Each structure stands twice: as C-alpha cells, then as structure tokens.
Amino acid sequence: MEKTDKKTEILRAAEMLFSEFGFEGTSTRQIAKESGANMAMINYYFGSKEGVFLEIMEARISGHKSTLKEISELQVSPVDKLMKVIDQYTKKIFSNVCFHRMMQRELSLGQRPEIYSKIKDAIRENRLVIEEIFADGVKDGSFRAVDGRMLIATIFGAITSVSSQPDKVIDDPKFDIENDKQREELRQRLSAFLQHLVQSYIIIPNK
C-alpha cells in the first residue's frame, strides 16, 4: 500500500509541476522533491520523466474515453448525447487548464514522438466516438448532413481557445482562470453557447 501511495504521490506532484512549468521546465529532481520520493523510486516506477508524463497522459486519456463511451451507450437521442459530450469535454479541459495548455504545446512542437503519438491517437479515438453519435443523428433524421469532422474541430478549437485565452471573451482584467467560481462561470457560458450553436446548425426542426 505504501508503494502504491508513493507512486500516486509522484504522479500528483508531477502533474502539478508539468502544469505550472511545462515538460521542459520540470525536472525529475523537482518531482522527487515535491512528492517526497527519491530519484531511484521515480526511475523504478517510470524509467524517466517522459515515462511519468506518459502515465499521466494515459490516465487522462482512459478517463475521458470511458466517459465518452458511457455517453455513447446512453439510451437517449443523438442530440442529447452530443450536448452531453460538449458539456463533459468543457469540464475535462477546465478541470486543469494549465495541463491542457501543456498538451497543446506538445502537439504543436512534436519533439517527443511517443508523447505526440499518444495525444494524437487519443484525439482520433475520441473523435471517432463523437462521429458515430453524429452519424446516428444523420441516420435517424435528427441532424443535417453537414461536415461532421469540421464541426467537431470547431467545438474542440473553441474550447481550447477560450480556456487558453479567456480574455478573448472576457473584458474584466480581474478575471482569474484559477478562481474556481470564475472558471466554472466561464465554462458554463462556453458550454451553453456551443450547445446552442451546434443545435442551431445541425438540428432539423420538428425532430
């Protein structure tokens, strides 16, 4: 139990440091100090700093994939499923905006092939689940047959843009994305807007 707890502490400390300083700005020594572990323990569990990052990524990917799968299996309409996807995705991103920013940096830089591949694969798998929901809506006549992949890119892009640069939609200089109340208000505003936008664009009236 002690070893399991220590591994969890290493992952917790690493995620916090990665979020604050980025991958390059975080060292295994910092992770060891913050978690109360030693370098040998980090090497034993993960092999390297990249190994720590990959395990954090895999946990997040697995969690989000499970959530999408649960939504896709709900006995509700494709419209309701898509609205739930939008709301859950905003919650996922806004739960740790700093970590999401770092993931986006990894995608843009592409310097670490294994990490880059993991992120890209996760995005592709999640997109396929959403595309299936969209295809079901087209099939049952609820959705217009628009370019679903472009629509998904628009949704994800808007969430990334607003979470990374909230000043694009908020004029208040005192706004703090780290403030739980302010962050949740922005998340709800964004989720509501995207749901309304998507419904206006794809839903066929009287369906």
Beta bridge partners of 143: 203
Q: How far is Cα 78 from Cα 148, in angstroms, rounded to an integer? A: 13
Q: How far is CA 149 from CA 86, 90, 117, 180, 188, in A?
A: 15, 18, 20, 32, 24
pLDDT at 207 > cutoff 60: no
Give me the pLDDT at residue 126, please: 83
CB atoms within 10 A of CB 50: 13
Give me the pLDDT at residue 110, please: 67
Q: How far is Cα 190 from Cα 157, in angstroms, rounded to an integer? A: 12
| pLDDT single digits (tens) 10-22 | 999 998 888 788 8
Give me the pLDDT at residue 11, please: 92
Q: What is the average per-residue pLDDT within 149-177?
A: 91
| pLDDT single digits (tens) 104-137 | 777 777 677 777 777 788 788 888 888 999 999 9
3-state secondary structure (DSSP) of residue 130: helix
